[in-house]
Every structure is written in C-alpha cells, then in structure tokens.
Chains A and B, each alone.
Chain A
C-alpha cells in the first residue's frame, strides 16, 4: 500500500503526537482547574458531604423571684437522638430501640414525622431520658446504628403547678413557628418558650445553640460521633429576675380550694406583680423533653381548661367592683360627692318606665350616701348615678380609664377586655337602634353588668390606681412594656374618700365577716351574673388601707358570691404584709359564715337570636 513510506509516516506521526499532546493538555488543564484553582470550593463541599451538624442545646437562663428564689432552673438531663439515612432505616432502628427502651406507637410516628420534616438531621427520640434508660441504650449501642446520646441541660420548675401560668413552659420549636419566624435564631430542634415568661422573655432566656459535627458516610450512616475540629460551644441564656414573691405565690396555691376555677393576682400599687395564679393549673414539667400524647390529650380535652390563664385570658362581667369605676366617673365630672344622697331611696327595687330593676337586698337599703352605697353595694343608688352620667359618658370615661385596653403586662397573649367603643356598638350588636333600650343598658352598665367583660388583671390595675396616686400602673413581672398610663382623674381627696368607702366594705359592709383587727383591708366584693350556671365571685382589695402596699384580686367561677372569695384574698394580703406567722385556718371558717349576698339584677334579657360578642371565655360551661 502506498502512503507508508517513512516520510509520510513521519509526517502523520508528528501530527498524531501533536494531537495527543493537545488532548492531554486539555485533560491536565481540566484537572488543574478542579484540583488547584477550585480546590477550596470542593474541599468545603467534601466536608459538608461527610459532616452532619448536631446542635448542642444551650442551658436556658434561670427565672428567679424578687429574692432570688428559683422559679425555673436547669438540671442535667439526657437526650437520645438517632441519625438515620432513610425513613425506612429509622423505622427499623426504632423497632430495635423499643426492645431496649419501650416506645409507644405515637413516639415512633412522631420521630418519623420529625425526620421527614428535616431529613439528614439527627431526630430526637427521647427528649428527657433518665439515667437508667441511657445506660441500657449504651449497652445495646451495637444494635442501634446512629445512636447519639447527649448530655443536655433539662428545664425544671421546682414549684411546678404553683407557677405554671406564670412561668409557662418550653417545648421544641414547630415548623410553623420557624416559617413565621416567631423565634428569631431558633433552628429545628431548639427548645423555645411556649407560654408565660418563658415565651415572653424567650430571646433572653434561650441563649445560642452550639454545634458539633459527626461524620457520616454516603448512605448517611454515622461513622464517628465526634469530630473534634470545628465545633461551636453553646452560649447560655441569661437569667431573669422577676417581681414575683415566690412564698406568696406558693401560699396562694396552697390555700386555693380544690376543684374551684378562677384566678388571683397580687400586685403592688406601682405595678410590680407579686403573684399571678390561675386554677386549675398544670405541671409545666410534663412538657420537658416533649409531652407525651396522653398528657397532651388530657390537658387539651379537660373541660376545666387547665391551660387557660384565667388571670389575663379570662373575661368576666366586672359586676360590683365596677361600681367604683362608676363612682370615679361621677366624682370626676363633679356630678356627685361622697355625701350625695340619691333622689330615690333604695326600697329593693328601682322603677324605670314599666320595668323594675332590683337591688340585691330585697328589703332595700333606704337612703344612702356614696360611701354607704359602696359599702353596702347598693344597686339602686348606682342605677341613679349611672343615669346621671348617661351611657355615652360611661363609655367615654371607661375608655379613658383603660377598661377597653390591655394592661400591657409582660405576658404573652393577654386578652383585651370587652368594652364598647361608642353607642354605635350597640346598634351594630342588636342590628338597629330600635332593638335595644339605652336607659336599661345604662342601668346594667352602672352595676358592672351588660356588654362589659373585664379581665382580672384589668380590674386589679384599676384598683391599684385607687390604692396609689390615681394613675393606673402598668403591671409587670420583669419590666413594663407599655408607656402610656390611664388615669382615673381623681383628686387626692377623692381618692381618700374612695379608700375610706372601701374600708367600710370590709369593716361594716358586704365583706364584714372577713375583717381582722390587726390589718386594715380595703376592698370590694362582686357577684358576676352568669346565665349558664352559678354566679362568679369577685373580691379585690388592698392593704394596709391607709398606705397600701399590695393589691390582691381574686375571681372564682361559680362561687355564687364575692364574699366566698374575700377571705382568700384577705389571707393573701395578710400573709404578704404580716408574714407567714399568721394562722390561715380561718378561711374555711369564714366561708361558712358568709353574709347575705350582694346580687345584682339579671341583665336585660336579650333574644337568643342576638349574637353576643366573643363569649368563649366569658361563659364557661360547668
């Protein structure tokens, strides 16, 4: 064949060598680019390939009372996690797991659900394992690939049930929390405060999670649990000091009658909350390490609603304690004085048109001045005060005094009271001006009934202003959140008169039976009409009456009468001011010798078709 002489072969050989050299240069160039120029990028990628971040939970900040006593603290605990490559293998390992430490099917489903939410991350199986479980798991480690046992600080509430509604609880952050960024800097698996102070001051308490790395292979199997390099220590959360007086809080918990729903708040006239209690209560410690299904169901289906903080989220008709607000409005506007007698003396009933509005005392109080009317809680007297004011003035002044606003206490999800904004409200509510009677509504409002529902904290705030300088303090546990303060607008003299009238309530009036010689208590009973069952009882008082140090208010659902509540409140005041030496047994005795009720008339009966404002909390069903 031609073309195979040495010359032509040499020529083609040269071309071939050049082509070969060119091709190899391309390859070498490509490797140089990947290995030398892009080395850092790929080295990083190689690291992320094989390392899995395992968060280290920081110890949460402690919560202490005003004297440094612990409300929430941390104790050493263990969390058990599993790192699994696939949901199937996680299921298999969980099955092995339950042979060593029993898990119920809910736990397993929950772990799988978490895994699907964040695959490739270690999934928490036991948030709070005890030492026995941990040592058993360690023994069977060979059977459980991907097992990670971490020593983690565990939340403990030493006073448990006594402080539940105050302190709240912690649990793992949910996906929806993360989506809405409710907890900045939280990552999946972080423990965050879900209620109470834990929620309100979460950003201070939480601290910052650290991270350590575990090495995995391509199938996601754990190879080495701790890669020493590049781990970040956790930053502990900071302590918060509250205004709470833990002995008082515990005392209230200890005297609260079993099975009764309600709330009690103790606060200084300047707004420092000394105790905040709601019953029934729950044990916040059950949430530590993840609440189990049975407990969760129990807490949520209980008709007594133990998770409801009745102190700030329960709305009740303010009833007689609101008479002080009506008095303040009339005094402020100069319509009455402390010795003003009303034109119609109390005969047990007050006639308005063709209807009669009853006083709680059938036989009537006769002619009273303001002080006497407050002491005896005479309804007929206040009907007439209300008429002098007029509904519009009551609403205007009520808004000015803050009965329509949240108090601004530093607890999450405080409910605002229900109070009309203007007369239009009634037209809308009853679908037209002709469907409601303004004079009848005025009478209802003047004794604290009608379309007026207040929270306990809101009423306490008003009474604190009477105990103090007439300005309503912002209640707070750590520091106040709101800045604008409502005012009763009363002069110092008028405030003195109010206090004097309130002293009469305890000394000679409706709560006379709760009187003690060694401490002068001022306060007001109340009985809130409840169309769904027995009436609710109120008592709000402060002591010592001449220079008040503490305002305490309580509400008990279905207590029938405010005088039932009064001894508990007065005992709380005595305990705080006189110290723990005073006996507390008289509570039971006193409940037996209640005076005859101060009972307001039924509110104007509304047709059933009329929609009521949000009544979810107002009318708890027995």
Chain B
C-alpha cells in the first residue's frame, strides 16, 4: 500500500504542471478515510453484511441508474458517464461500489443454495445478479468495469463449486463472439464445441442451448461490432496493432510500452523517468501508474510489485479457505476475483497484452472511491480471518 503511495508521489513529479502534481497528497487523505472505513468494516459482523447485502445491492443499482441519467464524465473517462456528482462536486464512481455490492449479493445467494449449481438453469440467477450491473456499466459505457463483473461472476461460481465444464459452457458464447471475426477460427471453435458437448453429455436441451448461443453470437458479432462506439472499436483495434494509429488511438499503448521498455533491469530511478517527466506517458497517476513503476524502478521494481500482489492474493486465498462459513469464504474469494481482474487488466494493458480500458490498479492508482472500496475489502477480509481464528476453525 505504501509502495503504491510512493509511486503515486513520483508520478506527480513531472517537469510540466499537470493535475497529477498534488495527487499524492490527496491520496494521503483518502488513505486516512480508507483506514477508517477498513476499521469500521473490521468491526462489522459478516452477518450484518449478509443481511444488508440485498439493500446495498439495490442501492448501488439505483446509483448506477442515476449515473446514467445525471452522470458526468471526468478525468480518465471523459466521454463516459461514470461519475456521480452533486452540484459540480464529484463524489465518486458508483460502479466501484456496485462491484463490492455484487460480490456480497452473489455470496449471499450462492451460500443460500443447498447444492452448487449443476446446470445452466441453476446459473440463471447468479448471471442475473451480475448481469444487471454489468449491463448498466456497459451502458455508461465503461468496458473495463464491465469486465470486472465478468471476472467476479466466474471466480465466485468456481469457488461455489460449479464444475469447470459448466463454466466453460457459460463462457463459450463469449469466446465465440471474439472468434467470429475470423471465419476459420470460428469454424474450428464450433467443431470443438460440438465435440466437447458430445463428450461431456450434459442435458440435451443444455447442449442445444449452448450450441445455439455460440451460433447466434458468431452471427451477430459483426452487427454488434458496428454498434460499438468508435472509441471502443479503436481501443480494441489498437490493442491488436498499436502502430495502426500511433499519434491518436495507439498513443497510450505505444508510449506506455516505450516507458516500460526503456526502464530495463533497474529503471531510471525513482522520480527520474524522462518519459514520465516530459509527459509522454499519459494518465501516469491513474490508469498507467504501473508504467511509472516500469520506467523508474525497472524490471526489478515490477517483479517486487507483482510479487506483493501475488502474496496478497495467496493470503486472501488462505483466508477464503479457512473462513468459518460459506458466505464469508465466497466474499473473500469474490474480492480476489475483483482485484485479480483489475490487476491483470491494468498491468496487462501497460505492456499491451490486454486491451486498453480505463481501469485502476488497486492501491496504486489515484482515485477516491476505488481506494476506499479497496480498504473496505481489506477490512472485510481481516474480519473473516479474525472470525475463523476465533471460531477455532482449523485448516487440514
């Protein structure tokens, strides 16, 4: 967490006055707020959260709808309506709250089941829980956050004990959608689906549904593509080939990679990165904060940062395994899913292995609501860990 703050401080030190100059200072304030929030959640019983989950979920949905009506674009997402503002004062991005709310709601629903979902019909409800905020976020449009909801859905279903083949069937239409742009890839994919469905022998109607869904997705892919707004199309296209448009759409992708690549093994030294200093690196305090790590601290710095994240995830995983009840366990694992999607997407995009979406990096990026939500999550996890230790639940 402090590592993140130091980087953020450095990100603000450019030769040009940018709005990033003072953010490290603001983030200190948010740190204080976050710690208080974490303390509060730590003191809150999980039962209370389980009870309050539907209300929180409903509240966040209302906020998401509200944001669509009266939202303002700002900062890293100028063109999308993802901020909620009162008067001219922005108070946060409801999507961040919705992510946590969705985790809690999913955990509550899944832990209430007698058996893990065994068929596609059993998955309708979880999909709906995630689907509603997903669609609302897509509508903003905020592709990055939407992907996080998908991440949450799959990770929590997996942790609830849904068999991987069922998850595969759930995911297959999406993959079909992606492959639809190449006739050969799509054809091969359809054959593979057919073979797998024969092997696994799910219910007949399930097979038919999945296969049909794959088929439909493949067919509608092109019209759907045309429906996407040009900037989203551009981002996906420049992900595939950043050189298409080096001055405009591909600019972020290329500059980020240049900054990271010029870092080498040990980097240029904290606050010394010339690409960042001379403002070649865009959004260096929010979405591309990790590129600053890459440039200034080099590969070693990247390794340390990624190790810290991995360690965090493994600790959370242990907490999830030892949790005293399914709800807590699912909540903690949902947080892993949430963060992991963020980290993988954000870090991945700085080196162009993921498309560029405006999505923050937990504990690194500047941004009030997300930082506070992250602290809340930490508090939650700590509480779960505390509970399991108190209950004498032991790991085998």
**Residues of A with Cβ closer than 8 Å to B?**
1-4, 6-10, 12-13, 15-17, 20-21, 23-24, 26-28, 30-36, 38-39, 41-43, 45-46, 49-50, 215-219, 221, 223
Contact = CB atoms under 8 A, between A and B. Distances in A.
Contact of A20 (B113, B158, B310): B310
B15 A223 contact: yes
Among B112, B115, B258, the one with the most A-chain Cβ atoms within 10 Å of its Cβ is B258
A23 B281 CA distance: 26
Interface string B294-327: 1000110011001001100110011011000010
A45 B275 CA distance: 10
Given A1-B111, A7-B396, A10-B396, A46 B299 contact: no
A16 B161 contact: no
Contacts of A15: 158
A386 B220 CA distance: 94
Contact of A49 (B159, B275, B303): B275
21 contacts: A1-B113, A1-B115, A4-B161, A4-B329, A10-B396, A12-B161, A17-B317, A20-B317, A30-B353, A31-B260, A31-B306, A35-B263, A35-B294, A39-B264, A41-B261, A42-B258, A45-B258, A46-B274, A217-B277, A217-B280, A219-B279
B262 interface: yes
Interface of B: 15-16, 110-116, 158-161, 255, 257-265, 274-275, 277-281, 294, 298-299, 302-303, 306, 309-310, 313-314, 317-318, 320-321, 326, 329, 333, 336, 340, 344, 347-348, 351-353, 395-396
B116 A36 contact: no
A9 B395 CA distance: 10
Given A35-B260, A35-B294, A49-B280, A20 B340 contact: yes
Contacts of B396: 6-7, 10
A1 B299 contact: no
B259 A31 contact: no
A26 B351 CA distance: 11
A34 B257 contact: yes
Given A12-B158, A27-B348, A46 B275 contact: yes
Contacts of A45: 258, 261-262
Contact of B258 (A24, A30, A31, A49): A49
A320 to B, nearest CB: 70
Nearest to B293: A31
Contacts, number: 148
Contacts of A33: 351
Contacts of A30: 348, 351-353
A219 B14 CA distance: 13
Given A27-B347, A223-B278, 5 more contacts: A1-B326, A9-B321, A13-B317, A35-B264, A39-B261
Contacts of B275: 46, 49-50
Contacts of A17: 314, 317
Nearest to B260: A34
Contact of B298 (A6, A21, A35, A49): A35
B299 A20 contact: no
Contacts of A3: 115-116, 160-161
Given A2-B114, A16-B317, A42 B257 contact: yes
Contacts of A46: 258-259, 261-262, 274-275, 280
Nearest to A5: B396
Among A4, A28, A215, the one with the most B-chain Cβ atoms within 10 Å of its Cβ is A4
Contacts of B353: 26-27, 30
A174 to B, nearest CB: 27
B116 A31 contact: no
A27 B340 contact: no
A15 to B, nearest CB: 8
B278 to A, nearest CB: 4
A315 B303 CA distance: 81
10 A-B pairs with least C-beta separation: A42-B261, A3-B161, A46-B262, A217-B278, A218-B279, A218-B280, A35-B299, A30-B351, A43-B262, A39-B264
Given A3-B115, A27-B347, A50 B309 contact: no
B118 to A, nearest CB: 11
Contact of B302 (A20, A35, A216): A35
B264 A36 contact: yes
A43 B261 contact: yes
B12 to A, nearest CB: 16
Given A1-B116, A16-B158, A32-B299, A6 B395 contact: yes
Given A7-B396, A27-B344, A223-B15, A36 B258 contact: no
A215 B278 contact: yes
Contact of B115 (A2, A24, A28, A35): A2
Nearest to B278: A217
B278 A216 contact: yes
A85 to B, nearest CB: 11
A343 to B, nearest CB: 87
Contacts of A38: 261
A97 B326 CA distance: 73
Contact of A35 (B112, B114, B261, B279): B261
A497 B316 CA distance: 118
B272 to A, nearest CB: 13
A16 to B, nearest CB: 6
Nearest to B266: A35
Contact of A1 (B15, B110, B274, B313): B110
Nearest to A35: B299
A265 B102 CA distance: 97
Among B261, B298, B351, B396, the one with the most A-chain Cβ atoms within 10 Å of its Cβ is B261
A217 B292 CA distance: 16
A31 B353 CA distance: 10
Contacts of B158: 12, 15-16
A35 B321 contact: no
Contact of B344 (A12, A23, A31, A219): A23
Nearest to A12: B159
B260 A2 contact: no
A45 B262 CA distance: 8
Contacts of A39: 261-265
A43 B260 CA distance: 9
A42 B326 CA distance: 48
A35 B265 contact: yes
A218 B299 CA distance: 24
A165 to B, nearest CB: 48
B306 A24 contact: yes
A261 B299 CA distance: 77
Contacts of A215: 278
Contacts of A2: 114-116, 161
Contacts of B261: 34-35, 38-39, 41-43, 45-46
Given A3-B115, A4-B329, A6-B396, A24 B310 contact: yes
A218 B255 CA distance: 10
Contacts of B299: 31-32, 35-36
Contacts of A42: 257-258, 260-262
Contacts of B277: 217
A18 to B, nearest CB: 11
Contacts of A41: 261
A42 B273 CA distance: 13
Contact of B340 (A23, A32, A35, A36): A23
Contacts of A10: 321, 396
Contact of A4 (B314, B326, B336): B326
A220 to B, nearest CB: 10
Among A7, A12, A27, A30, the one with the most B-chain Cβ atoms within 10 Å of its Cβ is A27
B351 A50 contact: no
A21 B116 contact: no
A540 B392 CA distance: 124
Given A7-B396, A46-B262, A13 B302 contact: no
A15 B160 CA distance: 13
Contacts of A28: 302-303, 306
Contacts of A8: 161
B347 to A, nearest CB: 5
